[in-house]
Amino acid sequence: MNPFEKLPIDKQKRIVDASISEFADRDYETASMNKVVERAGIAKGSLFNYFKTKGSLYYHIYHLAIGEVKSYLRKVRDETAGLPFEDRLAKIVDSGVQFISDHPRLARIYFRLIYSADSPDRQKIVSELQKLSDDYLGEIIQDAMDRGEVDSKLNKTQTVFYLDAVLNRFLKEYHESSNGNQFDRDEWVKGITTFFIKGLR
């Protein structure tokens, strides 16, 4: 167990919250450990005792965020398992909107990471995120193929790629438009779902 994990839970939460805010408000290069210390209300020496570098703190926040996303995705996958593919896809698209609405700071970090060079060892992180998405959407698509809801002759890798690309672009635009003020959420969810349902049959 590292020194950070030995801290009282409330202090861990303060440091995590301060770190998420700092990395959400600033790009990686300009994010400041001093600001994290200030936001968390702790001694500067303490933070460097828990995380030796800004990179190690960033990775900690990144892995916490990934854990949050995985848990959320599993919940959506399991809750929609018995639904027809069209309804399941609509729920997945809508749950993406809900996630970024519930976690706007994590969404800001995620989209900055995906669409810019803003992180240490960016390629490794992007590869991990891509595998997570490929595995998740690949399972959904395979289930639909097995049930005859999607053409089994389709290239699954390409299908997942197209779906992932559209979802990422839509969610990024939704997030950046003040949490969707320029979008009719229901209309866009229906539109994306209809577009893929018609194209995959």
**pLDDT, tens digit (0-9, with 9 covering 90-100), for 10-21:** 999 999 999 999
Could you give the CA distance from residue 74 to residue 107 in angstroms, rounded to a whole number? Answer: 18
Q: What is the mean pLDDT of residues 162-183?
A: 84
Q: Is 120 helix (H, G, I), strand (E, B) or coil?
A: coil
- pLDDT of 118 over the 80 cut: no
Q: What percent of the chain has pLDDT over 70?
A: 98
Q: What is the mean pLDDT of residues 56-66?
A: 90
The letter for the amino acid at 87 is D
143 against 2, higher pLDDT:
143
Which class is 65-200 in CATH? Answer: mainly alpha
Q: What is the mean pLDDT of residues 103-118?
A: 85
166 against 117, higher pLDDT:
166
Using an 8 Å Cβ cutoff, are 3 and 14 in contact? Answer: no
The helix (run of H) or strand (run of E) holding residue 198 is helix 185-200
- pLDDT of 168 over the 60 cut: yes
pLDDT of the residue at 67 = 87
Could you give the CA distance from residue 74 to residue 23 in angstroms, rounded to a whole number? Answer: 26
| Extents of the domains making up the chain | 1-52, 65-200
Architecture (CATH level 2) of domain 1-52: Orthogonal Bundle (1.10)
pLDDT of the residue at 88 = 95
Q: Does pTM surpass 0.85?
A: no
| Sign, CA torsion 98/101/106/109 | positive
- pLDDT of 148 over the 70 cut: yes
Cα-based distances in Å from 178 to 53, 90, 106, 159, 181: 33, 22, 15, 30, 6
Q: What is the mean pLDDT of residues 133-142?
A: 94
